[in-house]
Structure 1
């Protein structure tokens, strides 16, 4: 649970009461929609693109936003976050709200216009998840025989290794180029295709699992891609580029609504390479729509004064700069393989 004592320090009584009311709606909704976290049995893995976090493009987020975002994140064990901007204040503030046992690792700032000065990050609870030491930004290699260097991705994918329970995980999070508002933008398709093939081809080199003997391969690892792929529909060739490279989207996520606010686009994805080791899907997964509980259309009049400083935006759009234009996607895995291992020895 986030640290709530700071609520007393919110000077504006109206904002303070509104935040408390929002949390009182959000907390039971999260408890109903998501499995309860466990100490050792399960891992709740999530990915969330938090819009312009926090560029101040339409005003910097205030206390209310941070309490809601922290409350949502606190329900997971390990989260890949996209669209963190150049300042580290947002992650540092979340860490203070969540508790000293939470930690994050983050990339440097992506340069270039298409990179939007973004970082990517992993936020995790050290009581459940250990960082294994692997952290790298992925650069696309030159194909054999190619005369020119490949066009690099707008934002370099972020690779990191973790351990939870019996399972070792190599996560690769990405924010794919959006481009034009069509289902199949050529550069978007090229990025997803090259990225998926490169990660699959080099899976063995990306493992952070223990290597017990010199020259021997490491113990089995789980390679998972997750993040904002800007895929419009699961039937598009942009999705096919992931599956044709050997990645599988868990059955639990095949039928969930879209992860954009209108739930009709499948921008965000979680997919693993072919098989899992000591990591078992429990059948529970989804996206969480926080707009049913905070920043609701019924609350629009409550925010009239705050919106005055940035006129011209509809409430529906303005609120995405307070929370996001993406919904968090999550999946639960079992991580205690003790019984199966003992059975194999008996």
Structure 2
């Protein structure tokens, strides 16, 4: 449960009242669409590109925005976040609202114009998820039989290892180059292709169960890529670049709306390499459209003065700098491997 006491300190009475109303609507929507979190049995994994979080473009986010964002994040156990900008304040403020049992891992700032001065982060509830020790930014290797410098991605993917229940997960979160507004942008396709090929080739080095037997080759264990791939639709070559390398998108994620506000682009993806180990999908997955509950079209007049002073943008555009132009994508996994382990013991041990 989020820490709501700070709402009392919001000086603007209308904002304070609006925030409370918005949180009540948001809580209703979240609880009706997303399964309840459990103490041990399941893992709710999410990815969310939070637009320009929080560089102050068109005004820094208000307390109202932070309470809404924290409320959404609080319905998941482990979230990959893209587009965190220079300061660590946004993540620190989220942790203050969510509670001290939450923690985050974060990259340094991506340099260069194309990198947009972004960080990538993982936010997780320590009561449910343990950091397993691995945290690194990935650079692509030089190809064999060539002296040319390897292509590097505009934003280095962020790899981190976690444990939840019986399962170990190695997550790789990305924010792939967007470039030109076209379905198949050459550099975008190249980044996805080279990344997934590199991960597939090195899967056993990046991800292996601590329970493998000494003297045997390690087996990859739950290597998952997730984040903003800027994929326009599931039928084009940018999507095929993921699956050709052996990554699989769970069926339930292939049948959901797009993750942009209009729900017609499939920018965000979650995919695993070849198979899952002690990690089973429950069949629950989706994207959550927070604009059905906060910053709604019917709320426009309440924000008009602030919007006109700080941006001059249309309401639809401006509100994406309050919340985001991406919707969070999520999937629920079962992480209780007790039954499978007992079945294995029963078949291998003469009781």
TM-score (norm 2): 0.96
CA contact (8 A) 1:133 1:208 kept: no
Q: CA deviation at 1:197?
A: 0.6
The corresponding residue for 1:224 is: 224
Contact 1:22–1:293 at 8 Å: present in 2 too?
Answer: yes
Helix, strand or coil at the partner of 1:50: strand
Distance 2:221 2:162 in 1: 10
Judged with a 3 Å threshold, the aligned counterparts in structure 2 of structure 1 residues 51 and 344 are, in CA distance, closer, same or farther, namely: same
Contact 1:227 1:268 (8 Å CA) reproduced: yes
In 1, the alpha carbon distance for the partners of 2:240 and 2:30 equals 32
Q: Are the equivalent residues in 1 in contact too, given 2:208–2:220 (CA < 8 A)?
A: no
* Residues 149-183 of structure 1: per-residue CA shift (max 9 Å, x gap): 12210000000000000000000000000000000
Q: Distance in 1 between matches of 2:299 and 2:96?
A: 28
Secondary structure in structure 2 of the residue aligned to 1:309: helix
Contact 1:132–1:208 (8 Å) recurs in 2: no
Match of 1:60 in 2: 60
Distance 2:26 2:169 in 1: 30
Question: Following TM superposition, by how much is the alpha carbon of 1:345 offset from its aligned partner in structure 2, in angstroms?
Answer: 1.4
Tell which deviates more after alignment, 195-204 or 216-225: 216-225
Q: Determine if contact 1:168/1:220 at 8 Å carries over to the other structure.
A: no
Q: What RMSD in Å do the two structures reach over aligned CA positions?
A: 1.2
Aligned mates of 2:209, 2:69 — CA distance in 1 = 32
Offset at residue 147 of structure 1 (A): 2.9
1:311 to partner: Cα distance: 3.7
Are 1:197 and 1:245, in contact at CA under 8 Å, matched by a contact in 2? yes
Q: How does 1:324-339 map to 2 (within 5 A)?
A: 324-339=324-339
CA contact (8 A) 1:211 1:219 kept: no
Residue in 1 that maps onto 2:345: 345
Partner of 1:136: 136
Larger mean Cα displacement after TM superposition, 7-16 or 146-155 = 146-155
Closer, same or farther in 2 for the Cα pair 1:193/1:219, shift >3 Å?
closer
CA distance in 2, matches of 1:226, 1:326: 14
Q: Structure 1 211/277 Cα, relative in aligned 2: closer, same or farther at 3 Å?
A: closer
- Summarize the alignment of residues 1-346 of structure 1 with structure 2, pairs less than 5 Å apart: 1-207=1-207, 209-210=209-210, 216-218=216-218, 221-346=221-346
Secondary structure at the aligned position of 2:178 is classed as: coil
Secondary structure at 2:171 match in 1: strand
Measured in 2, the distance between the counterparts of 1:7 and 1:208 equals 44
Aligned partners of 1:136 and 1:160 also within 8 Å:
yes
Pairwise CA distance, 1:210 = 2.1
Number of aligned pairs? 346
Change (3 A) 1:278 1:220: farther
TM-score by length of 1: 0.98
8 Å CA contact 1:40–1:336 kept in 2: the answer is: yes
Displacement of 1:220 in angstroms is 5.4
Range with greater deviation from structure 2 (92-101 or 202-211) = 202-211
Deviation of 1:58 (Å):
1.3
Question: Does the 8 Å contact 1:102/1:123 carry over to 2?
Answer: yes
Q: Aligned equivalents of 2:42 and 2:222: distance in 1? A: 15
Verify the 8 A CA contact 1:167 1:277 in the aligned structure 2: yes
Distance in 1, Cα, partners of 2:62 & 2:342: 51
Q: What's the CA shift string for 1:72-98, capped at 9, x where partnerless?
A: 000000000000001000000000100
Runs of 4+ in 1 over 3 A off after TM superposition: 211-220
- TM-fit CA distance, 1:207: 1.7
On the 8 A contact 1:134/1:208 being kept in 2, the answer is no
Asked if the contact 2:82/2:120 (under 8 Å) is kept, the reply is yes
